[in-house]
Chains A and B, each alone.
Chain A
């Protein structure tokens, strides 16, 4: 693989269920991000990680958690899904301060 891989591509999830969205990169980028994309709202930051072992909250962190055990992986967990978490989720990474982000292809999640 080259770049960022997200899994699954899409998922329909019952409300109240737990779900982990996976994100793996092979570029050795230090910083990684999770965004959600909603119509009319653009992309909003959920959580970020500057480097392995550290994480932080973005604009809309409630209901989500992340971990960064190593450089390559940055999973996003929904502990108990709610319909308002229906969205397209994008994982991204960047190599340094003045660089643009590399995005994954996204996970389309529907909570019913």
Chain B
């Protein structure tokens, strides 16, 4: 089965500094990877996805993610963090079973951006 791991429960960064939220994956075959963000008391919002093509994927709100096949990683990045980026971030991978597809989520990383 496909899986993703988010090794950090929380990431702290000062506003204006670059941020990285880490994700590694374990898949058989080609990975289909996603990043979602969750603000307090809200549902998850789609940020970006990697299906195929360029290893650097650009998404919403200035976020981007770098797909690295040799390191089996898909880290989320932003050049300059904003306080409003503080939220819970989830990495996910598409898993295919018999007759269905689903997303398998990591445990989430809380990003805290300080003023």
Question: Which residue from chain A places its CB closest to the CB of B42 in the assembled complex?
Answer: A105
User: What count of chain B residues pass the 8 Å CB interface test?
Assistant: 22
B99 and A103 contacting across the interface, CB-CB below 8 Å: no
Per DSSP, are chain B's interface residues mostly helix, strand or loop, or mixed?
Answer: strand
Assembled-state Cα–Cα distance A106/B45 (Å): 12
- Answer whether residue A101 sits at the interface, using C-beta atoms and an 8 A cutoff: yes
Residues on the B chain within 8 Å of A92, using CB: 43-44
A41 and B100 contacting across the interface, CB-CB below 8 Å: no
Residues on the B chain within 8 Å of A90, using CB: 43-44
B99 and A98 contacting across the interface, CB-CB below 8 Å: no
Please provide the chain B residues from 51 to 102 with a CB less than 8 Å away from any CB of chain A in the complex: 51, 90, 99-102
The contact string, 1 if C-beta is below 8 Å from chain A, for chain B 22-39, is 000000000010101000
The contact string, 1 if C-beta is below 8 Å from chain B, for chain A 31-56, is 10101000011111100101000001
Residues on the A chain within 8 Å of B102, using CB: 33, 45, 48, 58
Assembled-state Cα–Cα distance A44/B104 (Å): 7
- CB contact between A43 and one of B32, B45, B49, B105 (< 8 Å): that residue: B105
Assembled-state Cα–Cα distance A105/B40 (Å): 10
